[in-house]
A and B are shown apart, each in its own frame.
Chain A
Amino acid sequence: MDVLDNLAEGQRRTESPPLHYDLNIQPKKNTMLVSHGLPPWYEEDGNRITDAFVVAVAGGSASGKTHVARRIVQSLGSIPAVIILSQDSFYRRHSPEEVELAHQNLMDFDHPDAIDMPLFASCLADLKARKQTNIPVYSFAEHQRLEETKYLYGASVIITEGILALHDPALRQLYDLKVFVQCDSDLMLARRIQRDTKERGRHVDGILDQYLRYVKPSYDNFVRPSASHADIIVPGSNNNVAIDLICTHIRRQLVERATRFRQKMAIPRLHMSTPRDTSPEALRIDVLPSTPQLKGIFTILRCKDTSRQDFVFFVDRLSTLVTEFALQHLPYVPATVITPTETPYHGKTLDAQDICGVLILRSGGALTRGVRRVINDIPLGSLLVQSDAKTGEPLLFQVLLPVCVRERHRAENAWVFLLDAQIGTGAAGFMAIRVLLDHGVRQDHIIFVTFLVARGGGVSVIRKAFPDIKIVCAAVDDEMREGWLEGYKGEGNPDGVGRKCWIMQPGMGQIGDRYYL
Chain B
Amino acid sequence: MSSKAPTSQATSSLPPSVFTLPQTAQLEALYTIIRDKNTRRGDFLFYSDRIIRLLVEEGLNHLPVVPKTIETPTGCSYEGVGFEGKICGVSILRAGEAMEAGLREVCRSVRIGKILIQRDEETAQPKLFYSKFPPDIAQRYVLLLDPMLATGGSAMKAIEVLMEHGVPEDRIIFINLISSPEGLNTFCKKYPLVRVITGWIDQGLNEKAYIIPGLGDFGERRYCS
Partner-B contacts on A (CB < 8 A) = 291-293, 295-296, 298-299, 302-305, 313, 317, 320-321, 324, 327-328, 330, 332, 334-335, 337-350, 373-374, 376, 483, 503-510, 514
| B142 → A minimal CB distance (Å) | 17
Task: Please give, as numbers and ranges, the residues of chain A lying within 8 Å of B71 by CB-CB distance.
Answer: 303-305
- From known contacts A299-B81, A338-B36, infer whether A507 and B76 are also in contact, taking CB-CB under 8 Å: yes
Bound Cα distance A374, B53 (Å): 10
| B188 → A minimal CB distance (Å) | 23
- From known contacts A293-B60, A346-B2, infer whether A339 and B215 are also in contact, taking CB-CB under 8 Å: yes
Return the contact of B29 from the options A343, A349, A507, A508 (Cβ within 8 A): A349
Task: Please give, as numbers and ranges, the residues of chain B lying within 8 Å of A341 by CB-CB distance.
Answer: 206, 210-214, 216
Q: Tell me whether B32 and A324 are in contact (CB under 8 A).
A: no
Q: Tell me whether B213 and A348 are in contact (CB under 8 A).
A: no
Q: Tell me whether B76 and A338 are in contact (CB under 8 A).
A: no
The 9 closest A-B pairs by CB, nearest first: A340-B216, A299-B80, A509-B73, A347-B32, A506-B76, A337-B36, A343-B213, A303-B70, A332-B25
Q: Tell me whether B74 and A506 are in contact (CB under 8 A).
A: yes
Task: Please give, as numbers and ranges, the residues of chain A lying within 8 Å of B213 by CB-CB distance.
Answer: 339, 341, 343-345
Bound Cα distance A174, B3 (Å): 58
B107 nearest in chain A by CB position: A317
Bound Cα distance A143, B192 (Å): 80
Q: Tell me whether B78 and A317 are in contact (CB under 8 A).
A: no
Q: List 20 A-B contacts (CB under 8 A).
A: A293-B61, A296-B83, A298-B78, A299-B70, A304-B73, A324-B50, A328-B26, A335-B29, A338-B37, A339-B35, A340-B37, A340-B214, A340-B221, A341-B214, A343-B212, A346-B1, A349-B33, A376-B46, A509-B74, A514-B73
Return the contact of A345 from the options B3, B24, B63 (Cβ within 8 A): B3
Q: Tell me whether B1 and A334 are in contact (CB under 8 A).
A: yes
Task: Please give, as numbers and ranges, the residues of chain A lying within 8 Å of B63 by CB-CB distance.
Answer: 292-293
Chain B stretch 139-168: residues in CB contact (< 8 A) with chain A: none
Task: Please give, as numbers and ranges, the residues of chain B lying within 8 Å of A508 by CB-CB distance.
Answer: 72-73
Bound Cα distance A496, B106 (Å): 39
Task: Please give, as numbers and ranges, the residues of chain B lying within 8 Å of A506 by CB-CB distance.
Answer: 72, 74, 76-78
B24 nearest in chain A by CB position: A328
Bound Cα distance A330, B25 (Å): 9
Bound Cα distance A432, B109 (Å): 38
Bound Cα distance A485, B206 (Å): 65
Q: Tell me whether A483 and B57 are in contact (CB under 8 A).
A: no
Task: Please give, as numbers and ranges, the residues of chain A lying within 8 Å of B217 by CB-CB distance.
Answer: 340
Q: Tell me whether A317 and B60 are in contact (CB under 8 A).
A: no
- From known contacts A317-B105, A339-B37, infer whether A332 and B80 are also in contact, taking CB-CB under 8 Å: no
Return the contact of A302 from the options B61, B70, B82 (Cβ within 8 A): B70
15 more CB-based (< 8 A) A-B contacts, given A305-B71, A340-B217: A291-B61, A302-B78, A324-B50, A324-B53, A337-B37, A341-B206, A341-B213, A345-B32, A348-B25, A348-B28, A348-B29, A374-B50, A508-B73, A509-B72, A514-B73
Instruction: Report how many residues on chain B are interfacial, defined by Cβ distance under 8 Å.
Output: 52
| B41 → A minimal CB distance (Å) | 13
Best-surrounded residue of B68, B71, B72 (most CB of chain A within 10 A) = B72
Q: Is B54 an interface residue (CB 8 A)?
A: yes
A514 nearest in chain B by CB position: B73
Task: Please give, as numbers and ranges, the residues of chain A lying within 8 Å of B215 by CB-CB distance.
Answer: 339-340
Q: Tell me whether B35 and A347 are in contact (CB under 8 A).
A: yes
Bound Cα distance A504, B26 (Å): 32
| A331 → B minimal CB distance (Å) | 9
Q: Tell me whether A292 and B206 are in contact (CB under 8 A).
A: no
Bound Cα distance A348, B28 (Å): 6
- From known contacts A295-B81, A302-B80, infer whether A503 and B74 are also in contact, taking CB-CB under 8 Å: yes
Best-surrounded residue of B36, B54, B108 (most CB of chain A within 10 A) = B36
- From known contacts A346-B1, A508-B72, infer whether A339 and B80 are also in contact, taking CB-CB under 8 Å: no
| A293 → B minimal CB distance (Å) | 5
Task: Please give, as numbers and ranges, the residues of chain B lying within 8 Å of A343 by CB-CB distance.
Answer: 212-214
Chain B stretch 71-127: residues in CB contact (< 8 A) with chain A: 71-74, 76-78, 80-83, 105-106, 108
Task: Please give, as numbers and ranges, the residues of chain A lying within 8 Å of B65 by CB-CB distance.
Answer: 292, 295-296
Return the contact of A292 from the options B35, B36, B53, B61 (Cβ within 8 A): B61
Task: Please give, as numbers and ranges, the residues of chain B lying within 8 Å of A302 by CB-CB distance.
Answer: 70, 72, 78, 80
Q: Tell me whether B32 and A349 are in contact (CB under 8 A).
A: yes
Bound Cα distance A324, B64 (Å): 24
Task: Please give, as numbers and ranges, the residues of chain B lying within 8 Å of A349 by CB-CB distance.
Answer: 29, 32-33
Q: Is B174 an interface residue (CB 8 A)?
A: no
Return the contact of A335 from the options B32, B38, B108, B216 (Cβ within 8 A): B32
Q: Is B31 an interface residue (CB 8 A)?
A: yes
Bound Cα distance A299, B83 (Å): 10
| B68 → A minimal CB distance (Å) | 6
Task: Please give, as numbers and ranges, the residues of chain A lying within 8 Å of B53 by CB-CB distance.
Answer: 320, 324, 373
Q: Tell me whether A346 and B3 are in contact (CB under 8 A).
A: yes
Bound Cα distance A207, B40 (Å): 63
Bound Cα distance A339, B24 (Å): 20
Task: Please give, as numbers and ranges, the residues of chain A lying within 8 Å of B29 by CB-CB distance.
Answer: 332, 335, 347-350
Interface string of B169-187 (1 = CB under 8 A from A): 0000000000000000000
